[in-house]
Amino acid sequence: MIDWISGGLVVAGATLALLAGVGVVRMPDVFTRMQASTKASTLGVGCLLAALAIRHPDVSIVMKALSVGAFMMLTTAVSAHVIARAAALTGAPLWKGTLLDERPVANRDRDCSSS
Amino acid sequence: MLNFTSAIALTMLALGAALTFVRLVRGPSLPDRVISIDLIGILIVCVLVVVAGDSGQQAFLDVAMVIALISFVGTVAYARYLERDRT
């Protein structure tokens, strides 16, 4: 039974991580890519750590899994916010279907392609 | 010998890393590439967690923790560099 639960959680977590990769390739602009990668990968890491803690119910392993999980939950959100802020301030172009852009006009749609 | 579900999970993680690498190469702007590098770091952490669960070795979890830390600091440094670079 434990094997079934942890195996299912491992496959679910890996599927979410794969979806993060698919979202990064398929999404149309920087911000949608950022949110696809962040959400899917956070949940993926959470599922994989839960599977690990279920399969090895050892105190040290569970504590390490909890600390890695808490750290990932904190830092992924912070790094996504920091990247999105940098992208917005450098004037990353938005998707054509975007309804509202609150940046000042001088800040919009600058070509920030890397040289 | 890998467990069956661990083999499936590692294959899917490798596929996701390959897709992320496509965006890293093609990405039109520098923030896209920073996002790709961040996601590749997270996928490396995922691989280490799967391997730790499969082998029962705790050392892989320590490595996952350190890689997550370094990846976070690197991402914040890249973002600072991008913001400082704007004129």
List the structure tokens of A72. Answer: 């990932």
pTM: 0.89
Give B67→chain A minimum CA distance, Å: 10
CB A93 within 8 A of CB A29: yes
Determine whether the interchain pair B82/A87 forms a contact, defined as Cβ–Cβ distance below 8 Å.
Answer: yes
Q: What is the pLDDT of residue A113?
A: 52
3-state DSSP assignment of residue B1? coil
- What pLDDT, on the 0 to 100 scale, is given for residue A111? 57
Q: In chain A, where are the structural domains located?
A: 2-95+102-107
> What is the helix, strand, coil percentage profile of chain B, to 5?
85, 0, 10
Tokens 């279907």 found at: A97
Shortest Cα distance from B48 to chain A (angstroms)? 10
Provide the pLDDT for residue A95: 80
- Closest CB to A11: pick one of B8, B19, B45: B8
User: Which residues of chain A make contact with B64, given a CB cutoff of 8 A?
Assistant: 68
In a mutagenesis test of the B interface, which of A29, A71, A83, A110 is the best target, namely the one with the most B β-carbons within 10 Å? A83
Transcribe B49-80 into DSSP letters. Answer: HHHHHHH--THHHHHHHHHHHHHHHHHHHHHH
> How many angstroms separate the CA atoms of B23 and B44, rounded?
17
CA dist B50 and B61 (Å) reads 10
**DSSP conformational letter for A108:** S
Whether A111 contacts B30, CB under 8 Å: no
- Taking only the tens of pLDDT, chain A with its 115 residues reads 888 999 999 999 999 999 999 999 998 888 899 999 998 889 999 999 999 999 988 899 999 999 999 999 999 999 999 999 888 888 777 787 777 777 777 667 665 554 4
Note which residues in 16-45 of chain A have CB less than 8 A from chain B: 17-22, 24-25, 30, 33-34, 37, 41, 44-45
Q: Would you mind telling me the total number of residues written for chain B in this entry?
A: 87
Per-residue pLDDT of chain B (87 residues; tens, 9 = 90+): 578 899 999 999 999 999 999 999 987 888 899 999 999 999 999 999 999 988 888 899 999 999 999 999 999 999 888 888 665
Distance CA B45, CA A78 (A): 17
Which H or E run includes A40? helix A30-55
Q: What is the C-alpha separation between A49 and B61, in angstroms, rounded?
A: 10
- What the block records as the tokens of A41 is 């990968």
Q: What angle do CA B9, B15, B20 make, to 5 degrees?
A: 125
